[in-house]
Amino acid sequence: MRTLYFDCFAGASGNMILGALIAAGVNESSLQSELQKLKLPEFELKVEKVNRSGISSTHVDVVIPDEKKHRHLPEIEGIINDSKLSYKIKERSLSIFRKLAEAEAAVHGIEMAKVHFHEVGALDAIIDIVGSCIGFEMLGIEQFACSKIHVGSGFVEMAHGKFPVPPPAVVELLRGIPFYSADITGELITPTGAAIIATVCKSYGALPELTLEKAGYGAGTRTYEKFPNVLRVMIGEAKPQDKRSEIEVLSLLETNIDDLSPQILGHFMDTSLESGALDCWFTPIQMKKNRPATKVSLLCTVDDEQRFIELLYRETSTIGVRIQRIERNSLKREFESMETKFGQISVKTAFIGDEPVNSRPEFEDIKAAAAASGVSVKTVMETVRDRGIDDSTVQSN
């Protein structure tokens, strides 16, 4: 599988990841073109070759207007969802932002919806994260791995004061990930860099057996004497990390409701899925006193359990939620972009081992392509079917 390895001997930041991807072959003008789909205020990617302790590397500076605005997570999710980026890029970008928001919420002891912080709200963080996800797709990356992460040492000045390195949000993001501190003073791993790596990587440690195709160096802004402040990414073919199928322990939340408008129930389903629930469904039931009712079922990760329990209490009339731990066996999945005369359509393929067993085009991409081309959804579906993908298995999200 086409694998990207993050070599974080000098940590990582959002712009270091973006610079390393450009150095490894991401076309700068194509990247700019894709980022324009976000419909953000005017910005510029200033890309230049620099030397960091003898290593030629790529530095990216995101030049943005002087905004006084600090965006919250729901607004950022709206910006990404309303764009014409591919479903895969949207999905991965949203996952990274949610992980970042969860870390900040945990540090401050508040709900994610109430998080008000600079890192997620800044335009450059949006561009770094979405730009990195665009780069991953352009390079055709199928799996990720990462070295132990050098976090730096000392203290860093932040909006709330002076904090030790690594700062609290980074510590939250690096749970379960091996990291270390050496004699370099400064913050080497930023929240944005940590969120990207923690979201996409499944393995950490030594470089896996890799047939190297490309390497790229992304430069950090700070310079050190006799220490290359760069992130190295290595790209090549490696054995799949995934087994034939994967067993996950998930949380199933359920509650019975007999006193709520169907409009509000529909809104809850939309909100839960937009917030990262793995699935949500309704079942008609008969409750005590012969009342017709709805059983609301929501599937999420164990880590997200409390967040979705709170969402049920806030958005519905329930006063109690049943919790079950369940196992889910799921196949390995890969995404690829299919070129059609109506634009790119993301296709998800499931595998048993190396054998593809199901391919599903993303319905959101089909809808977007139909709207952009002024044709019917049926016309785009027929084009997809003509390319060998069965439109009866369109994946709706």
Summarize the confidence of residues 205-212 as an average pLDDT.
92
* pLDDT greater than 50 at residue 397: no
For residues 250 and 256, the model is more confident at 256
CB 187 within 8 A of CB 152: yes
Helices 377-386, 363-373: axis angle to 10 degrees equals: 120
* pLDDT greater than 70 at residue 346: yes
* Domain ranges for the chain: 2-237, 245-329, 341-393
pLDDT > 90: percent of the chain: 61
- Which tens digits make up the pLDDT trace of 251-270? 999 999 999 999 999 999 99
The residue to which tokens 């996952």 are assigned: 95
pLDDT at residue 144, rounded to an integer? 95
pLDDT at residue 116, rounded to an integer? 60
- Which tens digits make up the pLDDT trace of 147-200? 999 999 998 876 667 889 999 999 999 988 999 998 899 999 999 999 999 999
pLDDT band, very low/low/confident/very high, at 241 (cuts 50, 70, 90):
low
- Which tens digits make up the pLDDT trace of 109-138? 877 766 664 544 578 889 999 999 999 999
pLDDT at residue 74, rounded to an integer? 85
* pLDDT greater than 50 at residue 394: no
Pair of tokens at residue 102: 């969860």
Neighbour-count burial for 123-155, b at 16+ CB within 10 Å, e otherwise: bbbbbbbbbbbbbbbbbebbbbbbbebbbbbee
- DSSP string over 225-278: TTB--EEEEEEEE---SS-SEEEEEEEEEEEEESSS-HHHHHHHHHHHHHTT-S
Q: Where are the beta strands (DSSP E) in 14-122?
A: 44-52, 55-63
Neighbour-count burial for 200-230, b at 16+ CB within 10 Å, e otherwise: bbeebeeeeebeeeeebbbbbeeeeeeebbb
* pLDDT greater than 60 at residue 390: no
CB 172 within 8 A of CB 117: no
CA distance 276 to 101: 12
β-pairing, 155-158 vs 152-153, is unpaired
Summarize the confidence of residues 281-305 as an average pLDDT.
93
**Residue 44 dihedral angles phi and psi, to the nearest 5°:** -140, 140
Q: What's the chain's average pLDDT?
A: 89
**Cβ of 109: how many Cβ atoms within 10 Å?**
6
* pLDDT greater than 60 at residue 387: yes
Answer whether 0.75 is exceeded by the pTM.
no
- Which tens digits make up the pLDDT trace of 44-91? 899 999 999 999 999 999 888 776 667 788 888 899 999 999 989 999
pLDDT band, very low/low/confident/very high, at 383 (cuts 50, 70, 90):
confident
- Which tens digits make up the pLDDT trace of 13-56? 999 999 999 999 999 999 999 999 998 888 889 999 999 999 99
Summarize the confidence of residues 212-241 as an average pLDDT.
94
- Which tens digits make up the pLDDT trace of 301-336? 888 899 999 999 999 999 999 999 888 888 877 878
For the domain bounded by 245-329, which CATH number is listed? 3.30.70.1380
